[in-house]
Amino acid sequence: MVKNARSSILARLRMAPESVGVIQPDWRPAVIAEPERQNRFTTMIEAAHGEVHPVESQVWPQRLLSILANRGIRRLLIAPAHPLGRALAEAWAGNPDAPELVPYDRCVEEMKDTLVHGIDAALTGTAGAIAETGSLVLRPGADEPRLMSLLAPIHIAVLEANAIHDTLTSMMASQHWNRAMPTNLLLISGPSKTADIEQTLAYGVHGPKELIVLIME
Amino acid sequence: MNSPTGFAQRAAVALSDKSLRANFRRAMDGLMEKRKAQFPDRQALEALRDKGAAIRANALSKLPDLLERLEANCTANGIQVHWAATVAEGNAIISEILGKHHARLVIKGKSMVSEEMHLNHHLQQQAIDAIESDLGEYIIQLAGETPSHIVMPCIHKNLDQIARLFADNIPDQAYTEDVDALTAAARRVLRERFAAADAGLSGVNFAVAETGTLVLIENEGNGRLSTTLPSLHIAVTGIEKVVESLSDIPPLLALLPRSATGQPITTYVNMISSPRRPGEKDGPTEVHLVLLDNGRSKVYADPHLRDTLRCIRCGACMNHCPVYGRVGGHAYDAVYPGPIGKILMPQLDGLEAKGDLAHASTLCGACAEVCPVKIPIPDILVHLREESVNPTGAVAHSHFSGTLERTIWSMWTMVNTSPKLYRLFLWGATRFGNLMPGRLFKRWTLVRTRPQFARASLHEQAASEGFGDG
């Protein structure tokens, strides 16, 4: 059945009259000069309810501790194989005030209950960001699983200031994404939200209610 | 299935429902404002629309080749590709995959193609629960309704109605009009469903042939959960959703959310290129892509209609349509309502069943003006109207088969093809037209002033001013 469907669909499409050639217009995306990029990124993601904290790269674990202190975070999910996860484990070791670090170190099937119910926040890195739309770019993989940026009520993402590109077009082209796409590539432009009930915005409907971005300068 | 005057009757009912009209009016006004704010520069918008239209037209011009390329690249990435010529075939493919996995609970991201397939109903018959997880879809599933808008499915409901629905259907949920509390209740209920689901089912916004990538956009995170948490992911899409290159995605992303909801970008853009690879800790271990035709290849075959398939399902045509905004989505009795539905449904379901939708339009052109991929919707509507009446003026489809209408058109043809009859008719109309009894036009004059016939025809007036026929 399936084979027949394939050949009959393709045959019908090939029998149809050919379209006239399509001329691609010379469209170029906006250019955002480098000094403006970080500002633009911050303005855009804050407008989408994201929270941005510029930090110096040596002291980010301490800054994170103070950011989380007021929020009553007890269990923070980390990727133990990721450099950020390792750095945090080292920096917070022996600190009685620090939240407990929960490592995502087994496959989802073995950790489902912890992931779905047992964490207050999660920490991930980023593969850069897009200034134009205020979007973080994540490439989850073996070191940093996909669900880390999705299940916890608070998502903390660490971004290098010099990894902010002006547009998706320029980032995609300069890094040749089309040559090898990862299993999953994500743009995240704020916390989870909905306006399905009378167009009233509500945050955290399925994913994180808060998105905190640490920009390392 | 539709009565000859189906749309007109349903529209009349909808128009007298004050709360429905208020719900739509508020929503449509808001969405139009938000879209406008996203495109302050008219020139930039037009350049972007030209680009979007060219990307989609290019993809359609190479459709069979791109579908084969998509299949090859998805397969190389580990995504299993299936082809379905009809809804029945699509449903059978999905049943078979779910059957192999002994799946009993399916969690769904928003997918209009699955609505087109009546997939939930089909699965229910096989004792498989399909739970909608998009908040709007979840609400209408609780209410036992169908979406009234392709982007905002429960736009016809107000806060009070939703609050009641939750209080009646969710255990331990008291009546509350606090939107945050309602949202939290849905999160609580659906979290458990996500965790328990055997499979996730989603639609696809764009399928990239070059890289074998499925692009899904959303705000809630339910789409990501549906495609990440269960070990099996099935994506369904129409065959027209393919684009050639990854570089086609940014311009389309710059158009879709801004046109749809007036957002610069959706919260999540989820690009899926393969199932879980060795060493990865999550993501589905199997990903399936079902390519559904269901009449699209027939639409493709007609050069007058092919542009219909450019659609990226933003819903801007609905938001700006004076008819949709007043009668709402359900009056169309169609999976895709509003202007795009008026041209798509008669083509998918046939003129016999949905032909009256092509007439549910004033041809004002607002839809074509806002369409991000420049689908000439009014032109296609006119073409469909022409198709439903054959060139001799005789009636081709049942919704035109009223004896009165047929008689009037044949008289009109007679009068306009004979100069003598034409002059006689004009003479009569100018002398006696105003004497026609008013009750003949009661339905027209109820809300309009009755026009008066001139005392002499233009022809006679011109002659009396000295302009001859020569």
CATH 3.40.50.10420 residue spans of chain B: 59-297
CATH for the stretch B59-297: 3.40.50.10420
Residue B399 has pLDDT above 60, yes or no: no
Tens of pLDDT, residue by residue over B179-220, are: 999 999 999 999 999 999 999 999 999 999 999 999 999 999
pLDDT at A3: 61
**Residue A123, token pair as written in the block:** 């920490």
CB of B112 closer than 8 Å to CB of B136: no
**Interface residue A186 vs chain B (CB under 8 A):** yes
Q: Could you say which of B83, B136, B225 has the minimum Cβ distance to residue A9?
A: B83
In a domain, A62, yes or no: yes
Q: How far apart are CA A20 and CA B180, in angstroms?
A: 51
Partner-chain contact B220 A207, CB within 8 Å: yes
Shortest CA distance from B24: residue in chain A: A198
* Global confidence as pTM: 0.90
The pLDDT confidence band at residue B355, using thresholds 50, 70 and 90, is: confident
Residue B169: count of CB within 10 angstroms of its CB? 13
Closest Cα to residue A50, out of A167, A198, A188, A170? Answer: A188
Whether residue A16 is contained in a domain is answered as no
B191 CB neighbours in chain A (<8 A) are 116-117, 206
pLDDT at A209 over 90: yes
| A134 in B contact zone (CB under 8 Å) | yes
Condensed to tens digits (0 to 9), the pLDDT of residues B204-263 reads: 999 999 999 999 999 999 999 999 999 999 999 999 999 999 999 999 999 999 999 999
Q: Which residues of B touch A8 (CB under 8 A)?
A: 85
Cβ–Cβ below 8 Å for A9 and B54:
no
For tokens 């897009």, the residue is: A130
Partners of B254 on chain A (C-beta within 8 Å) are 29
B267 to A168: CB separation less than 8 angstroms, yes or no: no
Please count the residue pairs, one from chain A and one from chain B, whose beta carbons lie less than 8 angstroms apart: 255
Q: Is A75 on the interface with B (CB under 8 A)?
A: no
Using pLDDT thresholds of 50, 70 and 90, give the confidence band for residue B469.
low
Domain count, chain A: 1
- Dump strand ranges (E) for B118-265: 129-132, 199-202, 206-208, 213-218, 232-238, 242-243
CB contact under 8 A, B211 and A181: yes
The CATH number for A150's domain is 3.40.50.10420
In a domain, A7, yes or no: no
Report DSSP state, residue B395: B
Of residues B42, B117, B467, the one with CA closest to residue B290? B117
In this structure, of A30-34, A52-56, B53-57, B309-313, the range with the lowest mean pLDDT score is A30-34
Mean pLDDT of chain A: 95
Rounded to an integer, the average pLDDT of B138-159 is: 96
Nearest residue on chain A to B91, judged by CA atoms?
Answer: A2
Q: What is the pLDDT of residue B257?
A: 98
Q: Is residue A64 part of a domain?
A: yes
Which residue range is the domain that position A179 belongs to? Answer: 38-216
Task: Indicate whether A206 pLDDT > 70.
Answer: yes
Contact A109, B244 (CB under 8 A): no
Residue A195 domain-assigned (yes or no) = yes
pLDDT confidence of A10, banded at 50, 70, 90?
very high
Within a domain: A85: yes
Tens of pLDDT, residues B335-353: 999 999 999 999 998 888 8
Is A142 at the interface with chain B, CB within 8 A?
yes
- Whether B397 shows a pLDDT value over 90: the answer reads no
* Residue B398 pLDDT greater than 60, yes or no: no
